[in-house]
Amino acid sequence: MAIGDKVELSSWEKLGNFFRGRSVWMMWYCTGCGAIEMPPTMTSRFDMERLGMGPMATPRQADILLVTGYLSVKTLRRVIYSYEQMQDPKYIIAFGACAVNGGIYFDSYSTINKLDDYLPVDMYIAGCMPRPEAIMNAFNDLQEKIRNNEVDGWKRYKKNYDQYKKNQLKAVGEVYVHDEFHE
Amino acid sequence: MTFQNFLNAFLFVLAAFAFQTSITGINRKVMARLQKRRGPRWYQQFLDIFKALSKSSISHGWVYDFGVIMALGGIMATVIFIPVADFRAFPNTDNIFIISYVLAVGMLGMAMSASGSGNPWASIGVGRALTNMLAYEVPFMVVVVTMIFGFKTASVGEIAGIQQGLGIFGWNLFRMPLGAIVGFISLQGMLGKKPFDSFIAPAEIASGPMVEYGGKHLGMLFILHDLSTFIEVSLIVNLFLGGGATFLEFGIKYFVVYTLANLVSGISPRFKIDQAVVFYYKFPLLASIVQGFIVIFTGWGVTKWL
Amino acid sequence: MNLLSILAVLIVGGLAAYLLSKANKLLGAITTILTTVLSFVMLFGIKDQIGSTETFLYFNFQLTEIGWYFAFVLSLTYGMSAFYNVCYKDKFMYPNSYAMLYILSLGGSLGLFFAKDFITFFVFWELVVWTSAFIIPLGKSRRASFIYYVVSSIGSMATLFAIMWIYKLTGTMMIKEALMSVDLNFWPSVILFMTFILSGLTKIGIFPFHVWLPLAHGSAPHTFSPILSGGLVKLGAYVAYLSVAVFPSYEIFGEGWMYRGIPLPIYFLMVLGAISIIIGTVMAIKQDDAKKLLAFSSVANGGYILIGILMMDEITFAGGLLHLFAHAVASATAFLTITAVAYRTGTTKISELGGMIHRMPITYTVYLISIISMAGIPPMAGFVSKWLILQGLASKGLIIIAFAAFFGSIGSFMYVFRPLAAVFLGQLAPKHENLKEAPIMMLIPMILMTIITLTVGVVPKLVLNFIVDVQAEAGIKVVSMTGGALDVFNGYLDATRVFVIFGFGFLIALVLFLLMPKTRSVSLMDTYTSAEFIYTPELLHYAHDFYAPFERLYKNHPSTLKLYERASLKLKEIGLFVDYAFMNQRPATSIMWILIIVTIVTIGGAF
């Protein structure tokens, strides 16, 4: 299944997409400086709730994983862990230049450049920083795509799991931590 | 107990859900206006619930599923006991103690399921919620005892009916003003609204009992939350505002009470859990006991009124 | 068959159990089951002989409704807990003595309930005290037994004093005749009443005599804690009944001050009951030992029972007696489940356990149902009794007592939930990975007790019928029921209907759950940890300081036990002084004291 291919859905799934496309809960992973753009997006100036979006406390409850900024190798492990705890269907938005292609950290030894190699990104927001308008626009587009069943990142992740895992292991490596919290 | 009773009960639960969920949606808009925002569509709450139900979910063992079912079942049963205007799904089941203790089945089910997830935050949240319950429930129940003593009945519907005789000044809001204040303060705790919402503090303990829920479990908990809101606000409307002679009257009073609670919540900070206990055991408890003594020894508000 | 045959079965069975245990431990354990269950069954055989009197040697017995009801509750808990003796037979220090004392303590209780005269009453009372005082040190601590014995003795001696006084006043030892013909003024009768009821208060663990309960329950042998909580403390309620219902307390005290229709001495005891509820609740909330937690909950529930019995009306009295049954069953069941966990893991500390549900699901379910009953949540027996008590308190307008009742009721959600969350739910420690479900001999009584709790909760008429008989015997209005539903003047409760509606709600929720997409099972450690990797289940288990914010509010509370300890220290110092002044080896001091005493006596004789 290539990206963008449409498959026939059962009427249950169509109904599901109807609701999913109008109500998205996000969990933002505030790794970088991008998180500072979220408060104005949520509060009175831009008010993202009016479009059916809202923040959630844990990955179990959320639909969207918002990766706001650069990902060091250390945090990538956590992002993957959080993503795998989310419930299907789930979507990823890569936010800002760093998450798209590395941005100003493109040659850093400790950050990854392209998030899409490790997790299936459904929507990019370019910019350094993207303004709240851009965020709202991205969310709106994502909702529209969900309604039209054009988003299949979580299916891609399942299908190409081995490939993703390989990339992840290559970046993260197998790290065994020994301290009071780890055996 | 005929088939008609059960059908009525089922339709009543559906209606209660639709009613409260719409009002929650409207109140989300009210809150938004309070914060100078536009707010979501009024039916956004429905979309959220059905979206959650349509997603996949995980299970941490049988008690995790069973607890949610038991919680929603208990809350639905409690909704069936609630008298609205002259509607009763089953005759003679609107005893106040039955309502408040069947409500506890739902709470226990949810607490059990949350702890069953194995997440420590869930247990912390449940511990806080139970402590909170000890705080708000006791003053409220003392007022309820006063009412039962005064009106010689523990039936919520009958207490509501008695108040309707004298017009607006027959309401317990005026007959027992101290008790009514306690009732409204307790409602704030029952609904888990600020300043008594530390058990679901999202940033501190990751939404407490709800931390592990996703998908249909979360959807069912949203339904549960809306239904338990319906129960609690209905109790206050019936006990202090004379219920309603018609569904419309009841609905209007309900909307006013719930919106008021929401507005208070919108401008309040949050109590720590031990502060909440101390708060409830100061003025509200004292006021409820004073109200009790007034009614019991002078009859003011019950035998001597207008 | 008469009541003597039941007592004979228990006394002979007790001695036989001793001898059989010498030969084979298993035989002795089985004897305890057979005799106690047989006595329970035989009780139903003599239900139609109410009022009959029997005499054996110097002992006079009479079967009364109240005596039968108490015997019914006690032999039920004894019979059910006896099944555990089979599993525990190898863990006791002296299995033969344990088997004998176990049966004899039931025999003592039953003899006490059937006693017609005070001598029989007191002899059997002491039999119970002595047998239990010898069983408790078979567990963890001797000090607990010592404190239990001291507190019991205070009560026993006070009651003995009251009995002698009554005999002097009336000239008869027959309980009923003597108590009913006491003719005293207000204050002497108050003193008589208080001294007589004192043994009941100590036994039921009313403040300030509650100190022995947590110690004794917590350190008694695991198999005997259910008996202490579900059986022995209920003896106190019987004494309370005798002193308030047989002794015409309401008529005698009616001359004095009344508070809302309650004579002040009785109201005073009800306030003590209310204090017990509050103390039991707040102390239970902070316990880390599951057995101590349940022991403090017994203190709290003892308060409810006492308040119910003292009210002597149609609603609360029925509630008190029903609560006696409901709490006996629920509390014994909760203790049995904790015992089962202790049998498998070797500890009752809440913070050392966790995730037991994944290894002992049946035990978990039994515990869940017992705590639902203990917290007074429908559709269990405990709800009906609490409902009656609350309705009764509301009908009289006893606000302060009602406040305590609500505090205890909602506080009980907190303390019963703590073992549920921290022992049974949460993370399973790796060291408990290979546990098995409790053995079958433990599951039988647990499941039977659960069925009883649920059945009585759905059809309360089954037990309320006995209580109606008791109320008729006591000469008060009986609680009114219309076709199985409680129909008191300020409330209506059809427990069956509540149960059916709850079932209906559960069914809707179940259908909704099954209609929605299927769930995927994940492991317990796959849980939200803020994306931190944690591999140690014990560290992800929330069991320490469960209610820390609430406990902080009263962490510097005064302790009754410490008060007693200080008092005893002072007493010891006085003793040392006396010892120093009078009992020393110097002849000069002795001669001086002798002279002083002789002088005083001589002067005294001159007058």
Residue C228 scores a pLDDT above 70: yes
Q: Would you call A16 an interface residue with chain B, using a CB distance cutoff of 8 Å?
A: yes
Domain spans of chain C, in order of start: 1-114, 115-503, 563-606
Query: What pLDDT, in 10s, does the model give residues C45-59?
Result: 888 888 788 888 888
Contact B13 C508 (CB under 8 A): yes
SS3 C329: helix
What backbone phi and psi angles, to 5 degrees, belong to C150? -65, -50
Exposed e or buried b for every residue in B284-302, given b needs 16+ CB within 10 A?
bbebbbebbebbbeeeebb
The distance of Cα C207 from the centroid of its chain, to the nearest Å, equals: 14
Q: For the segment A64-113, what is each residue's pLDDT rounded down to a tens digit?
A: 888 888 888 888 888 888 888 888 888 888 888 888 888 888 888 888 88
Residue B210 to residue A44, Cβ atoms within 8 A: no
Beta bridge partners of A28: A66
Instruction: Provide the pLDDT confidence category of residue C451 given band limits of 50, 70 and 90.
Output: very high
**CB-nearest partner of C498 from B102, B112, B137:** B102
A160 interfacial to chain B (CB closer than 8 Å): no
CB atoms < 10 A from the CB of C592, how many?
Answer: 11
Average pLDDT over chain A reads 81
Across the interface, whether the CB atoms of A182 and C532 are under 8 A apart is answered: no
Residue A176 is predicted with a pLDDT of: 62
DSSP, collapsed to helix, strand or coil, labels residue C49 as: helix
Distance CA C361, CA C436 (A): 10
Closest partner residue to C391 among B72, B102, B154, by Cβ? B154
In this complex, the residue of C528, C531, C533 whose CB is nearest that of residue A182 is: C533
Residue A183 in this model has a pLDDT that exceeds 60: no
Q: Give the pLDDT mean for B223-235.
A: 91
- Most confident range (mean pLDDT) of B74-78, C81-85, C473-477 is B74-78
Arithmetic mean of pLDDT over chain B: 87
How far apart, in whole angstroms, are the C-alpha atoms of residue C111 and residue C105? 10
Q: Which residues pair with B155 in a beta bridge?
A: B95
Q: Tell me, yes or no, if B133 comes closer than 8 A to chain C by beta carbon.
A: yes
Q: What are phi and psi of C259, to 5 degrees?
A: -120, 110
**Contact at CB, A78 and C531, closer than 8 angstroms:** yes
pLDDT-based confidence at A6, cuts 50/70/90?
Answer: low
DSSP-derived letter for residue C490 is T
* Residue C215: predicted pLDDT: 84
Provide the sign of the torsion angle of the four alpha carbons B292, B298, B301, B302, taken in this order.
Answer: positive
- CB neighbours of residue B152 within 10 Å: 15
Q: Is C501 on the interface with B (CB under 8 A)?
A: yes
Compute the average pLDDT of residues C583-601: 82
* Nearest CB neighbour to A183, from listed C531, C532, C535: C535
Residue A63's pLDDT band (cuts 50, 70, 90): confident
Report which secondary-structure segment, H or E, holds C29.
helix C25-45
User: How many angstroms away from the CA of C474 is the closest CA of chain B?
Assistant: 26
What pLDDT was estimated at residue A68? 84
Residue of B63, B107, B137, B162 for testing the chain C interface, max C β-carbons within 10 Å: B63
Count of other CB atoms within 10 angstroms of residue A161 = 10
Of all helices (H) and strands (E), which one includes residue A67? strand A64-68
Whether residues C528 and A58 touch (CB distance < 8 A) is answered with yes
- The mean pLDDT of C346-350, rounded to a whole number, is 85
Tell me the average pLDDT across C515-524: 82
Percentage with pLDDT > 90 across chain C: 4
Residue B47 has its nearest CB partner, among A12, A19, A60, at A19
Residues C97, C298, C487, CA angle at the centre, nearest 5°?
Answer: 125
Rg from Cα positions in chain B? 19
Question: What is the predicted pLDDT for the residue at A181?
Answer: 53
Chain A residues lying within 8 Å of C528, measured CB to CB: 58-60, 85
Average pLDDT over residues B248-275: 90
C residues 112..171 contacting B (CB < 8 A): none
Mark B154-164 as b/e (b = at least 16 C-beta within 10 Å).
bbbbbbbbbbe
> CB distance A50–B38 less than 8 Å?
yes
- Cα–Cα distance between A118 and B79 in angstroms, integer? 48
Nearest to B243 by CA among B138, B140, B133, B155: B155
CB-CB contact of B123 with C542 (8 Å): yes
Contacts of residue B150, Cβ cutoff 8 Å, sequence gap at least 6: B176, B295, B299, B301, B302, B303
Q: Phi and psi dihedrals of C184, rounded to 5?
A: -135, 165
| Candidate from B76-85, B212-221, C46-55, C63-72 with smallest mean pLDDT | C46-55
pLDDT at residue C321 tops 50? yes
The answer, for C494 touching chain B at a CB cutoff of 8 Å, is yes
Nearest residue of B to residue A62, measured between CA atoms: B214
Q: Which subunits sit against B, judged by 3+ Cβ pairs under 8 A?
A: A, C
- For the stretch B104-148, pLDDT in tens is 888 888 888 888 888 888 888 888 888 888 889 899 999 998 888
pLDDT(C534) > 60: yes
Query: How remote is the C-alpha of C376 from its chain's centroid?
Result: 16
C356/C358 Cα distance (integer angstroms): 5
> Tokens 């009257």 label which residue?
B249
Residue in A closest to C533 by C-alpha:
A182
- The answer to whether the Cβ–Cβ distance between B47 and A47 falls below 8 Å is no
Question: Mean pLDDT, to the nearest integer, of C268-285?
Answer: 90
Confidence of residue A177 (pLDDT cuts 50, 70, 90): low
Which structural domains are found in chain A, ordered by start?
A: 11-172 (3.40.50.12280)
Residue A1 predicted with pLDDT over 50: no
Residue A4 has pLDDT above 60, yes or no: no
Residue keyed to tokens 């609500």: C406
Q: Do A87 and B35 touch (CB under 8 A)?
A: no
Residue type at position B75: I
CA trace torsion C383, C389, C391, C396 (10° rounding)? -170
Q: What is the distance between the alpha carbons of residues A80 and A172, in angstroms, rounded to a whole number?
A: 10
Distance from CA of B13 to the nearest CA of C (A): 9
Confidence of residue C117 (pLDDT cuts 50, 70, 90): confident
Q: Is C436 left (phi over 0), alpha (psi -120 to 50) or beta?
A: beta
Give the helix/strand (H/E) hosting C233. Answer: none
**A182–C526 CB contact, under 8 Å:** no
Chain A residues inside the 8 Å CB shell of B47 = 19, 22-23, 52
Maximum separation of any 2 CA atoms in chain B, in Å: 60
**Cα C7 versus chain centre, distance:** 22
pLDDT at residue B213 in the model: 87
Helix or strand run (H / E) with residue A96: none
- As given in the structure block, the two tokens for residue B33 are 């206006």
Q: Does residue C184 carry a pLDDT above 60?
A: yes
pLDDT digits (tens, 9 = 90+) for B84-109: 888 888 888 888 888 888 888 888 88
Give me Rg for the CA atoms of chain A: 17
B28/A15 CB distance under 8 A: no
Interface partners of chain C (CB pairs < 8 Å, 3 or more) are: A, B
**C209 in the Ramachandran plot: left (φ > 0), alpha (ψ -120 to 50) or beta?**
alpha
- Average pLDDT for chain C: 86
Chain B interface includes A182 (CB < 8 A): no
Dihedral (CA of C529, C530, C534, C538) sign: negative
By C-alpha distance, which of C207, C216, C287 is closest to C564?
Answer: C207
Confidence at C606, pLDDT banded by 50, 70, 90: low
Q: Amino acid identity, residue C467? A: I
